[in-house]
Amino acid sequence: MSVNLQKGQRVSLSKDREGLSKIMVGLGWDAAEVKKRGLFGFGGGSTHNIDCDASVILLKNGRLESNKDVVYFGNLKHASGAVKHMGDNLTGDGDGDDEQIMIDLSKLPPEYDRLVITVNIYQAAQRHQHFGMIKNAFCRLVDEHRHEEMCRYNLTDSYPNQTAMIFGEIYREGSEWKFNAIGQGTKDNSINALANHIY
């Protein structure tokens, strides 16, 4: 049964799932409608063409040690084989997941203790775009072996002028894997800036 998380809430992923290894991280978003005023105040709406990019930052002892530990559209697979990005979605149109990242905890080297899940807007500064122009953003974690959604975190806060988002992190605590719903916006203009700025 899936748990709907609130900002700042933590949940155990492996406590009731013995042998949990393969996790699918699904992320989705929609461009918010822009109201247009036509003749006599009537008019339809349109949406921005916003290209969001999901990524996973792999940390050793809470630190990013190499840009090779950032998995995103420009580096689709981690050297360990533990994290694989399934490809870039340029618009966010349609229902369901817009981008998916596969994680195999059994392949993750023991020195990695945190997997940070982020989304940034591609060329946000150049396009004058921010997360205040996005709606219905979510992150969900699925147990691939059992085909069950474990948890889901829907962004409910407003994030005007924020160009990147730290959705949450999968982290190791002893022998247990947990997820923390962070929901922290930043003004970083690229995944590299976000990774280097925070970690």
pLDDT tens for the chain, residues 1 to 199:
789 999 999 999 999 898 999 999 999 999 887 655 555 555 544 456 788 999 999 999 999 999 999 999 999 999 999 999 998 665 545 568 999 999 999 999 999 999 999 999 999 999 999 999 999 999 999 999 999 999 999 998 889 999 999 999 999 999 899 999 999 999 998 888 988 876 6
Q: Tally the residues of the chain.
A: 199
Q: How far apart are CA 169 and CA 175, in angstroms?
A: 16
Does residue 120 contact residue 164 with C-beta atoms inside 8 Å?
yes
Per-residue confidence (pLDDT) for residue 92, from 0 to 100: 46
Q: Which two tokens stand for residue 37?
A: 């005023």
Domains assigned to the chain: 3-198 (2.60.60.30)
Q: Whole-angstrom Cα distance, residue 138 to residue 9?
A: 15
Residue 72 is given by DSSP the state B
Amino acid 2: pLDDT: 87
Element (H, E) at 123: none
Beta bridge pairs of residue 144 = none
Residue 132: CA atoms inside 13 Å, Cβ hemisphere, count? 7
pTM: 0.89
| Pairing mode of beta strands 22-31, 33-35 | unpaired
